[in-house]
Amino acid sequence: MKQLFVIDPIEQINPLKDSSAALMQAAQRASIEVWICTPSDLQARGDKAWVVAKPTIPEPWIQVASPQSKPLAEFKCIWMRKDPPVDEAFLYATHLLEVAERDGVLVLNKPSSLRAWNEKLGALRFSKLMAPTLVASRVNELATFAREQGEVVLKPLGGKGGQGVIRVATGAPGIEALLELVTQQEKLPVMMQKFLPAVKDGDKRILLINGEPLGAVNRRPKKGDFRSNLALGGEPQATQLSPREHDICKELSPVLKSQGLFFVGIDVIGGMLSEINVTSPTGIREVEKLMNIPLADQVITRLIDELQ
């Protein structure tokens, strides 16, 4: 069996932290041929999708052979693991991957769902599980919502890893000017959510495989910050799911499965759903280390079952 991983340039990947590296190494342990490419290597020839990809031995990290031109239909499964931003290049790559999907190749996650599920807006499908939230461009509506909630966080809809997330107190001077800036003079919508003080105890990343939670890690903010993202210095901690978190996963599960979202990372703060990450969820290495769970191998085993 061959699997293709569409990723960022291999030189940018840290195998000690990267979930894509963990999945590639687990695939090799399952006797699967691992190939890699970037979105720029995808192409279409007539009604068939092709790729210029490199056969790879990911463990020990890493041996990469010379590139070869292959029809995507040769691969049993394709992992779309390119990191955000979800820009034009990312979107066009999903369209090319859909050509392979029409030829019977399993693409993870489903290309149409990668386009449809913005990682902030997608969670609004389950708004009753979330803190009070407003997505808007108009400064007046945003400022009114902030005054109603007392303290809020602002999130850019295209952000990743906590970048650009701002905590704002209602009485902060110049809030209108700040809102003008982040909305680019009311041209761009942003997400505003009620601030959850429980974030001081951590923001839990839960990894769901085909709708089932297989692992989680709690991320505590570093001193002096409220953002708990590991990329911003958050501290990973071992954790277990609470009954409330199990209920959240149970409610999300059938929808994620129906949308072809096989590998998903959700973020939960104080029992409230915050985000649904579908592009290239992280956290495998932290779960494996802290919880002593061979999570990447479990993911590949579930995938093999899905392909049979």
* Residues annotated as catalytic (active site), given as ranges: 120, 155, 205, 219, 227, 267, 275, 277
Q: Closest by alpha carbon to 3, among 145, 121, 108, 91?
A: 108
CA-derived radius of gyration, the chain: 20
Q: Closest by alpha carbon to 207, among 270, 264, 279, 286?
A: 264
189: its two tokens: 């919508």
